[in-house]
């Protein structure tokens, strides 16, 4: 499903070459073994594995709590929830403000949201207003102005990258229209296989081709494609239908929030030069060597954490570990949000792009 191609994507920071990219896990290992400014720390890997081991029986490390983690989503019992997931994950990128004091805000049912949650609140608000924002027939043809109304902020700071969000959403809607008219019908083409789902999404929807070149090697992260599959799994788990195979193929979702948590937990270490650049507010372009190293080493550190966690479960409990990297990401992202004040001394890297 991921054919060799030689085309230039309108979103890509590189021209696709005949050699297909390494998949995210292999990309993470390739990058971590060659990284010059980001390093995976084994002591930190052990520490995080121990932390997760102590939580192994909690709902924090399952997909069954999807609705709790996504309070603004429609009830998972409806296929509308799956289209909601598609709309949100297709536009799930670049929420950080130019200035911390200038956050885009959306208030829904008396609660004011910032960051990624502004998108969730805006989509659910639009549904209540009668706008068919989860219907591919509508969002495949909606205007920039219509999307701007849906994503309107409650203050003077708009949601960033409106034009890009419009482009990827209408593009994605057209793909769904060509494959049955819903996300459910589209993704069913991959059967119940997580890897095939990611390959299908990346093949059919150009904006999901989160790829770069590192030391002459074509690599991939597929953050949004993987989180789309993980969210689909979460909805289906909430329905009691989460029998998707190969979920362990997914990696963590390489963004800007989880790497900060991994540095805080000492599973990752940045060089002094990189720390200085980030503290100085330097923006990293998509595909910049340092940006690629942050994302790649994040993937590999979580793979090592997962492997060590499974060893602990086997050694101490005599059981097979069922916790995958997606679930670890589901834990680390809100962990980083919750402890953002304690992590304030660790700079988040900023890259303005559609991939995360």
Q: Which two tokens stand for residue 18?
A: 């005949």
* DSSP per-residue codes, 93-146: -----SSTT----EEETTEEE-THHHHHHHHHHHHHTT--TT-HHHHTT--HHH
Q: Which of 89, 210, 231, 255 is catalytic?
A: 255
Question: Quick one: DSSP state of residue 317?
Answer: I
Q: What is the pLDDT of residue 199?
A: 98
Give me the pLDDT at residue 287, please: 97
Specify the pLDDT at position 6. 36
CA distances from 133 to 90, 103, 243 (A): 13, 24, 28
pLDDT for the residue 346: 97
Task: Name the region of 330 (left: φ>0; alpha: ψ -120 to 50; beta: rest).
Answer: alpha
pLDDT along the chain (356 residues), means of 10: 41 59 98 98 98 93 74 88 97 92 94 96 98 98 98 96 98 98 97 97 98 98 97 90 92 97 98 98 97 98 98 97 93 93 96 98
Rounded CA gap, 324 and 233, in Å?
Answer: 12
Q: Would you state the torsion angle of the CA atoms of residues 112, 340, 336, 162, taken in this order, to the nearest 10 degrees?
A: 50
Residue 3, pLDDT score: 39
DSSP 8-state symbol, 207: G
Quick one: pLDDT at residue 265?
A: 98
Annotated catalytic residue 255: yes
* pLDDT of amino acid 293: 98
Instruction: Give the per-residue pLDDT at 65.
Output: 63
Under 8 Å CB-to-CB from 15, ≥6 apart: which residues?
8
Which two structure tokens, joined as six digits, stand for 331?
């834990």
The whole model's pTM is what? 0.91
């Amino acid at each position: 499903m991921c054919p060799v191609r030689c085309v230039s994507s309108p979103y890509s920071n590189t021209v696709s070459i005949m050699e297909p990219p390494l998949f995210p896990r292999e990309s993470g290992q390739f990058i971590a073994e060659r990284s010059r400014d980001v390093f995976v720390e084994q002591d930190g890997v052990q520490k995080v594995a121990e932390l997760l081991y102590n939580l192994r029986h909690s709902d924090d490390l399952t997909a069954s709590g999807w609705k709790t983690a996504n309070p603004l989503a429609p009830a998972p019992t409806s296929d509308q929830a799956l289209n909601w997931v598609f709309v949100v994950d297709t536009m799930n990128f670049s929420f950080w403000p130019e200035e911390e004091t200038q956050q885009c805000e959306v208030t829904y049912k008396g609660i004011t949201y910032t960051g990624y949650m502004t998108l969730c609140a805006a989509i659910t608000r639009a549904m209540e207003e009668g706008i068919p924002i989860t219907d591919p027939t509508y969002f495949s043809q909606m205007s920039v102005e219509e999307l701007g109304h849906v994503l309107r902020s409650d203050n003077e700071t708009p949601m960033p990258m409106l034009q890009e969000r419009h482009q990827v959403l209408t593009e994605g809607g057209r793909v769904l229209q060509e494959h049955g008219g819903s996300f459910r019908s589209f993704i069913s083409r991959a059967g119940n296989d997580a890897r095939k789902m990611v390959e299908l999404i990346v093949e059919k929807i150009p904006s999901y081709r989160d790829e770069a070149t590192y030391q002459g090697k074509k690599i991939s992260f597929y953050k949004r494609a993987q989180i789309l599959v993980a969210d689909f799994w979460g909805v289906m788990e909430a329905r009691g239908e989460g029998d998707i195979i190969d979920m362990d193929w997914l990696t963590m979702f390489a963004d800007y929030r989880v790497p900060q948590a991994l540095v805080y937990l000492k599973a990752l270490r940045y060089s002094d030069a990189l720390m200085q650049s980030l503290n100085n507010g330097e923006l990293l372009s998509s595909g910049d060597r340092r940006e690629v190293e942050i994302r790649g080493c994040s993937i590999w550190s979580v793979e090592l954490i997962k492997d060590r966690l499974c060893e602990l479960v086997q050694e101490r409990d005599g059981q097979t570990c069922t916790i995958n990297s997606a679930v670890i990401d589901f834990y680390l992202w809100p962990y980083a949000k919750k402890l953002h004040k304690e992590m304030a001394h660790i700079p988040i890297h900023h890259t303005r792009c559609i991939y995360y």
